Amino acid sequence: MSKIFDLINELCPQGVEFRELGEIGYFYGGLNGKTKDDFVKHGNVKYITYMNVFSNLSIDLNALEFVKIENNERQNLVAYGDVLFTGSSETRNECGFSSVLTKKPEEPIYLNSFCFGFRLNDLRLFEPEFLKYIFRSKFLRAQIIKTANGVT
């Protein structure tokens, strides 16, 4: 961990301001209240799968699947710049993997129920292309693994 702080001191001799995530954005949940029947090819909207988040630094917009969502449902939409996380896995080392939506979606997109998202209050704070590397860095992955409570 001291290597990180040495690097920060070298690159930013004036220092940096550390903030908690809750001070610069907010977390939101994926789809809720869905049954297996809602996840069909004849669904009316697209959603990001768990494996899309787990496997990619950036969300692959060509690998979305369909889900049925009614007009009166209150579900969270995913937006450009959102950091998406897997919520659980079979091992601690695979919990909390992240992926960032680095392209602006052309249609409404939702997030599967086994993941959650983080949205910045001000997109000018970080470039999404930067965030995809920060949240998958060895340093941050080690912090996430420490807090992981376990398995599926």
Residue 116: partners with Cβ closer than 8 Å, 6 or more residues away: 27, 28, 29, 30, 84, 85, 87
Residue found under tokens 């004036």: 14
Q: Which architecture does CATH list for 22-147?
A: Alpha-Beta Complex (3.90)
Distance (Å, rounded) from C-alpha 17 to C-alpha 135?
Answer: 18
Distance (Å, rounded) from C-alpha 44 to C-alpha 65?
Answer: 10
pTM (predicted TM-score): 0.87
Element (H, E) at 105: none
Q: What is the 3-state secondary structure (H, E, C) of 21-90?
A: HHHHEEEEECCCCCCHHHCCCCCCEEEECHHHHHHCCECCHHHCEEECCCCCCCCCECCCCCEEEECCCC
Q: Is the pLDDT of residue 150 over 60?
A: no
Better-predicted residue by pLDDT, 89 or 7:
7
Range among 8-12, 99-103, 144-148 rated most confident = 99-103
The confidence band for 19, taking pLDDT boundaries of 50, 70 and 90, is confident
If you average pLDDT over every residue of the chain, what do you get? Answer: 88
Better-predicted residue by pLDDT, 122 or 4:
122
Q: What is the pLDDT of residue 23?
A: 96
State the first-to-last Cα distance of the chain, in angstroms, to the nearest integer: 29
Between the CA of residue 51 and those of 8, 84, 117, 127, 139, what are the distances in Å? 33, 11, 15, 23, 22
pLDDT in tens, 87-144: 877 776 777 889 999 999 999 999 999 999 999 999 999 999 999 998 888 888 887 7
Domain range summary for the chain, segments of one domain joined by +: 22-147
